[in-house]
Structure 1
Protein backbone atom coordinates (compact mmCIF):
# COMPACT_ATOMS: atom_id res chain seq x y z
CA UNK A 1 0.00 0.00 0.00
CA UNK A 2 1.35 3.41 -0.99
CA UNK A 3 1.58 6.09 1.68
CA UNK A 4 -1.03 8.80 1.26
CA UNK A 5 -0.23 12.48 1.13
CA UNK A 6 -1.42 14.48 4.16
CA UNK A 7 -3.16 17.75 3.36
CA UNK A 8 -4.91 20.42 5.38
CA UNK A 9 -8.48 21.65 5.05
CA UNK A 10 -7.36 24.18 2.40
CA UNK A 11 -4.50 23.88 -0.07
CA UNK A 12 -2.94 25.53 -3.11
CA UNK A 13 -3.26 23.12 -6.05
CA UNK A 14 -2.70 23.29 -9.80
CA UNK A 15 -4.48 21.97 -12.88
CA UNK A 16 -1.73 22.24 -15.52
CA UNK A 17 -3.70 20.66 -18.39
CA UNK A 18 -6.14 23.57 -18.04
CA UNK A 19 -3.34 26.13 -17.68
CA UNK A 20 -4.23 26.82 -14.04
CA UNK A 21 -0.93 27.15 -12.20
CA UNK A 22 -2.35 28.00 -8.79
CA UNK A 23 -5.84 27.70 -7.32
CA UNK A 24 -6.82 27.68 -3.65
CA UNK A 25 -9.04 24.71 -2.91
CA UNK A 26 -11.20 23.82 0.03
CA UNK A 27 -10.54 20.16 0.77
CA UNK A 28 -14.08 18.97 1.45
CA UNK A 29 -14.66 15.41 2.60
CA UNK A 30 -18.38 16.18 2.76
CA UNK A 31 -18.56 16.78 -0.99
CA UNK A 32 -18.50 13.83 -3.36
CA UNK A 33 -17.74 15.89 -6.48
CA UNK A 34 -14.91 18.33 -7.13
CA UNK A 35 -15.62 21.60 -8.92
CA UNK A 36 -13.85 24.67 -10.21
CA UNK A 37 -15.03 28.22 -10.79
CA UNK A 38 -15.86 28.71 -14.48
CA UNK A 39 -17.63 31.48 -16.39
CA UNK A 40 -18.60 31.91 -20.03
CA UNK A 41 -18.99 28.15 -20.49
CA UNK A 42 -19.61 27.29 -24.13
CA UNK A 43 -20.14 23.85 -25.63
CA UNK A 44 -18.67 23.02 -29.05
CA UNK A 45 -17.85 20.04 -31.26
CA UNK A 46 -14.29 18.85 -31.91
CA UNK A 47 -13.65 15.75 -34.02
CA UNK A 48 -17.26 14.69 -33.48
CA UNK A 49 -16.96 14.91 -29.68
CA UNK A 50 -18.51 17.33 -27.19
CA UNK A 51 -16.05 19.84 -25.72
CA UNK A 52 -16.39 22.97 -23.57
CA UNK A 53 -14.43 26.18 -23.46
CA UNK A 54 -14.61 28.43 -20.44
CA UNK A 55 -12.85 31.12 -18.48
CA UNK A 56 -11.35 30.15 -15.12
CA UNK A 57 -10.71 32.91 -12.60
CA UNK A 58 -8.49 30.98 -10.19
CA UNK A 59 -7.85 33.74 -7.64
CA UNK A 60 -10.67 34.76 -5.31
CA UNK A 61 -11.43 38.47 -5.51
CA UNK A 62 -9.37 38.85 -8.70
CA UNK A 63 -11.51 38.82 -11.83
CA UNK A 64 -8.64 40.25 -13.91
CA UNK A 65 -6.62 37.04 -13.71
CA UNK A 66 -8.32 34.80 -16.24
CA UNK A 67 -7.31 31.51 -17.82
CA UNK A 68 -8.92 30.40 -21.08
CA UNK A 69 -9.55 26.68 -20.81
CA UNK A 70 -10.98 23.91 -22.97
CA UNK A 71 -11.65 20.27 -22.22
CA UNK A 72 -13.51 17.27 -23.55
CA UNK A 73 -16.89 16.75 -21.87
CA UNK A 74 -16.99 13.49 -19.94
CA UNK A 75 -20.70 13.81 -19.09
CA UNK A 76 -23.44 16.27 -18.20
CA UNK A 77 -25.27 15.48 -14.99
CA UNK A 78 -27.36 17.08 -12.27
CA UNK A 79 -25.40 17.97 -9.15
CA UNK A 80 -26.97 19.03 -5.85
CA UNK A 81 -25.16 21.94 -4.22
CA UNK A 82 -24.60 22.34 -0.49
CA UNK A 83 -27.63 24.65 -0.45
CA UNK A 84 -29.77 21.82 -1.87
CA UNK A 85 -30.20 23.27 -5.37
CA UNK A 86 -29.87 20.98 -8.39
CA UNK A 87 -27.83 22.25 -11.31
CA UNK A 88 -26.89 20.59 -14.60
CA UNK A 89 -23.10 20.62 -14.84
CA UNK A 90 -20.41 19.67 -17.30
CA UNK A 91 -17.98 17.05 -15.99
CA UNK A 92 -14.44 17.06 -17.35
CA UNK A 93 -11.32 15.09 -16.50
CA UNK A 94 -7.98 16.74 -15.85
CA UNK A 95 -4.76 16.13 -13.96
CA UNK A 96 -4.47 17.47 -10.42
CA UNK A 97 -1.06 18.46 -9.07
CA UNK A 98 -0.85 18.46 -5.28
CA UNK A 99 2.69 19.24 -4.17
CA UNK A 100 4.92 16.71 -5.91
CA UNK A 101 2.04 14.31 -6.60
CA UNK A 102 -0.37 14.19 -9.52
CA UNK A 103 -3.29 12.05 -10.68
CA UNK A 104 -6.37 12.37 -12.89
CA UNK A 105 -9.55 13.75 -11.33
CA UNK A 106 -13.05 14.53 -12.47
CA UNK A 107 -14.31 18.08 -11.90
CA UNK A 108 -17.50 19.95 -12.64
CA UNK A 109 -17.72 23.49 -13.95
CA UNK A 110 -19.83 26.01 -12.04
CA UNK A 111 -19.89 29.65 -11.04
CA UNK A 112 -18.32 29.95 -7.57
CA UNK A 113 -18.01 33.76 -7.58
CA UNK A 114 -19.83 34.09 -4.26
CA UNK A 115 -17.85 31.29 -2.58
CA UNK A 116 -14.63 31.72 -0.60
CA UNK A 117 -12.75 29.12 -2.65
CA UNK A 118 -12.45 28.86 -6.43
CA UNK A 119 -12.11 25.08 -6.20
CA UNK A 120 -13.70 22.41 -4.08
CA UNK A 121 -11.76 19.14 -3.86
CA UNK A 122 -14.28 16.39 -3.18
CA UNK A 123 -13.75 12.96 -1.69
CA UNK A 124 -13.86 11.08 -5.01
CA UNK A 125 -10.73 12.96 -6.13
CA UNK A 126 -9.03 12.35 -2.76
CA UNK A 127 -9.75 8.64 -2.55
CA UNK A 128 -6.59 6.49 -2.37
CA UNK A 129 -4.39 9.61 -2.57
CA UNK A 130 -4.94 11.94 0.40
CA UNK A 131 -5.47 12.02 4.14
CA UNK A 132 -6.96 15.24 5.50
CA UNK A 133 -5.86 16.84 8.77
CA UNK A 134 -8.59 19.42 9.40
CA UNK A 135 -6.51 21.25 12.01
CA UNK A 136 -3.93 22.29 9.40
CA UNK A 137 -3.81 24.17 6.11
CA UNK A 138 -1.39 24.92 3.26
CA UNK A 139 0.85 21.87 3.79
CA UNK A 140 1.80 21.47 0.12
CA UNK A 141 4.52 23.20 -1.85
CA UNK A 142 2.96 25.94 -3.91
Structure 2
Protein backbone atom coordinates (compact mmCIF):
# COMPACT_ATOMS: atom_id res chain seq x y z
CA UNK A 1 0.00 0.00 0.00
CA UNK A 2 1.12 3.57 -0.69
CA UNK A 3 2.03 6.00 2.05
CA UNK A 4 -0.87 7.65 3.83
CA UNK A 5 -2.24 10.85 2.35
CA UNK A 6 -2.21 13.95 4.55
CA UNK A 7 -5.36 16.04 4.14
CA UNK A 8 -6.83 19.12 5.77
CA UNK A 9 -10.29 19.54 7.24
CA UNK A 10 -11.73 20.24 3.77
CA UNK A 11 -10.50 18.90 0.44
CA UNK A 12 -11.30 18.68 -3.27
CA UNK A 13 -12.05 15.05 -4.13
CA UNK A 14 -13.29 13.22 -7.21
CA UNK A 15 -15.96 10.57 -7.76
CA UNK A 16 -15.32 9.67 -11.41
CA UNK A 17 -17.69 6.69 -11.57
CA UNK A 18 -20.51 9.11 -10.73
CA UNK A 19 -19.31 11.67 -13.29
CA UNK A 20 -18.15 14.07 -10.56
CA UNK A 21 -14.74 15.45 -11.49
CA UNK A 22 -14.43 17.50 -8.31
CA UNK A 23 -16.44 18.04 -5.17
CA UNK A 24 -15.42 19.92 -2.04
CA UNK A 25 -15.75 17.61 0.94
CA UNK A 26 -15.67 18.21 4.66
CA UNK A 27 -13.26 15.67 6.13
CA UNK A 28 -15.03 14.44 9.25
CA UNK A 29 -13.35 11.89 11.52
CA UNK A 30 -16.40 12.08 13.79
CA UNK A 31 -18.66 10.68 11.08
CA UNK A 32 -18.48 6.95 10.41
CA UNK A 33 -20.10 7.09 6.99
CA UNK A 34 -19.40 9.25 3.96
CA UNK A 35 -22.33 11.06 2.40
CA UNK A 36 -23.01 12.91 -0.85
CA UNK A 37 -25.72 15.45 -1.62
CA UNK A 38 -28.45 13.76 -3.66
CA UNK A 39 -31.97 14.68 -4.70
CA UNK A 40 -34.57 13.35 -7.15
CA UNK A 41 -33.50 9.87 -6.05
CA UNK A 42 -35.26 7.14 -8.03
CA UNK A 43 -34.86 3.42 -7.45
CA UNK A 44 -34.96 1.07 -10.44
CA UNK A 45 -34.10 -2.51 -11.29
CA UNK A 46 -31.41 -3.56 -13.74
CA UNK A 47 -30.58 -7.23 -14.40
CA UNK A 48 -32.38 -8.18 -11.19
CA UNK A 49 -30.34 -5.75 -9.07
CA UNK A 50 -31.47 -2.58 -7.31
CA UNK A 51 -30.00 0.65 -8.67
CA UNK A 52 -30.63 4.34 -8.06
CA UNK A 53 -30.40 7.39 -10.22
CA UNK A 54 -30.10 10.78 -8.61
CA UNK A 55 -29.07 14.34 -9.22
CA UNK A 56 -26.45 16.30 -7.32
CA UNK A 57 -25.11 19.85 -7.15
CA UNK A 58 -21.39 19.09 -6.69
CA UNK A 59 -20.30 22.69 -6.14
CA UNK A 60 -20.99 24.73 -3.01
CA UNK A 61 -23.51 27.54 -3.39
CA UNK A 62 -24.12 26.56 -7.04
CA UNK A 63 -27.57 25.15 -7.77
CA UNK A 64 -27.18 25.63 -11.53
CA UNK A 65 -24.47 23.00 -12.03
CA UNK A 66 -25.97 19.52 -11.81
CA UNK A 67 -24.67 16.03 -12.39
CA UNK A 68 -26.97 13.10 -13.12
CA UNK A 69 -25.65 9.95 -11.43
CA UNK A 70 -26.53 6.28 -11.27
CA UNK A 71 -25.16 3.52 -9.10
CA UNK A 72 -25.94 0.04 -7.85
CA UNK A 73 -27.42 -0.02 -4.35
CA UNK A 74 -25.25 -1.91 -1.85
CA UNK A 75 -27.79 -1.67 0.98
CA UNK A 76 -30.43 0.50 2.61
CA UNK A 77 -30.34 1.20 6.31
CA UNK A 78 -31.01 3.86 8.89
CA UNK A 79 -28.30 6.43 9.55
CA UNK A 80 -28.38 8.86 12.48
CA UNK A 81 -27.11 12.34 11.62
CA UNK A 82 -25.08 14.56 13.95
CA UNK A 83 -28.33 16.34 14.81
CA UNK A 84 -29.86 13.04 15.98
CA UNK A 85 -32.21 12.61 12.99
CA UNK A 86 -32.66 9.03 11.77
CA UNK A 87 -33.02 8.65 8.03
CA UNK A 88 -33.35 5.57 5.82
CA UNK A 89 -30.60 5.99 3.23
CA UNK A 90 -29.28 4.25 0.15
CA UNK A 91 -25.66 3.08 0.34
CA UNK A 92 -23.69 2.91 -2.89
CA UNK A 93 -20.08 2.02 -3.62
CA UNK A 94 -17.97 4.22 -5.87
CA UNK A 95 -14.35 5.09 -6.51
CA UNK A 96 -12.90 8.02 -4.55
CA UNK A 97 -9.99 9.98 -6.03
CA UNK A 98 -7.85 11.81 -3.47
CA UNK A 99 -4.78 13.40 -5.02
CA UNK A 100 -2.99 10.73 -7.03
CA UNK A 101 -4.61 7.79 -5.22
CA UNK A 102 -8.01 6.14 -5.59
CA UNK A 103 -9.98 3.38 -3.89
CA UNK A 104 -13.60 2.23 -3.53
CA UNK A 105 -15.69 3.72 -0.72
CA UNK A 106 -19.26 3.40 0.50
CA UNK A 107 -21.34 6.56 0.37
CA UNK A 108 -24.86 7.30 1.55
CA UNK A 109 -27.24 9.52 -0.42
CA UNK A 110 -28.93 12.37 1.42
CA UNK A 111 -30.25 15.82 0.63
CA UNK A 112 -27.51 18.13 1.94
CA UNK A 113 -28.94 21.31 0.39
CA UNK A 114 -28.96 23.04 3.78
CA UNK A 115 -25.36 22.00 4.49
CA UNK A 116 -22.30 23.98 3.46
CA UNK A 117 -20.47 20.97 2.00
CA UNK A 118 -21.95 18.74 -0.70
CA UNK A 119 -19.94 15.77 0.56
CA UNK A 120 -18.87 14.48 3.93
CA UNK A 121 -15.86 12.14 3.98
CA UNK A 122 -16.28 9.81 6.94
CA UNK A 123 -13.67 7.83 8.82
CA UNK A 124 -14.50 4.45 7.24
CA UNK A 125 -13.46 5.81 3.83
CA UNK A 126 -10.24 7.22 5.32
CA UNK A 127 -9.22 4.17 7.36
CA UNK A 128 -5.57 3.15 6.83
CA UNK A 129 -5.21 5.65 3.96
CA UNK A 130 -5.60 9.21 5.26
CA UNK A 131 -4.19 11.30 8.09
CA UNK A 132 -6.03 14.57 8.88
CA UNK A 133 -4.33 17.82 9.88
CA UNK A 134 -7.29 19.93 11.05
CA UNK A 135 -5.26 23.15 10.90
CA UNK A 136 -4.96 22.91 7.10
CA UNK A 137 -7.22 22.78 4.03
CA UNK A 138 -6.99 21.96 0.34
CA UNK A 139 -3.75 19.98 0.44
CA UNK A 140 -4.69 17.76 -2.51
Which stretches in structure 1 are left out of the alignment for 5+ residues?
none
- The question of 1:18 aligning with 2:18 is answered yes
- Count of matched residue positions in the alignment of Structure 1 and Structure 2: 140
Measured in 2, the distance between the counterparts of 1:47 and 1:116 equals 37
Measured in 2, the distance between the counterparts of 1:3 and 1:17 equals 24
Which stretches in structure 2 are left out of the alignment for 5+ residues?
none
Per the normalisation by structure 2, the TM-score is 0.98
4+ aligned runs moved over 3 Å, structure 1: none
1:56 Cα deviation from its structure 2 partner: 1.2
Residues 81-119 of structure 1: per-residue CA shift (max 9 Å, x gap)? 010000000000000000101000000000000101000
Per the normalisation by structure 1, the TM-score is 0.97
CA RMSD in angstroms, aligned pairs only: 0.8
Measured in 2, the distance between the counterparts of 1:108 and 1:99 equals 22
Measured in 2, the distance between the counterparts of 1:26 and 1:59 equals 13
The residue number in structure 1 matching 2:113 is 113
- The question of 1:40 aligning with 2:40 is answered yes
1:135 Cα deviation from its structure 2 partner: 0.4
